Amino acid sequence: MLDVLIRSTLDIVGRTERLIETTKRLLHGGDFDEIEIYELDCEIERLRNVLFAADEAIRSLACKAERLPQTAGEHGLHTTLH
């Protein structure tokens, strides 16, 4: 279950990165005034920051999930943790 969550989240991160790049290309090639471009650039940057944080969090979770069976075995934890 956790591996599905991790793969799905990384897929969302990848899709969002492609969306950001496409939006930036359209933004600079479209018919927007300077203020609209600035505001959209700011929103894109905020989205990129959130995306970076989500990517870091899910990669950290993936690393911890990989170590969980080892840790549980070393400490004699053989039950499901809730």
pLDDT in tens, 25-51: 888 787 888 888 888 889 888 888 988
Say how far apart CA 12 and CA 7 lie, in whole Å. 9
Helix axes 2-29, 34-74, angle to 10 degrees: 160
CB 48 within 8 A of CB 20: yes
pLDDT reading at 17 higher than 80: yes
Q: Looking at the whole model, is its pTM more than 0.75? A: no
* Residue matched to tokens 């969002």: 16
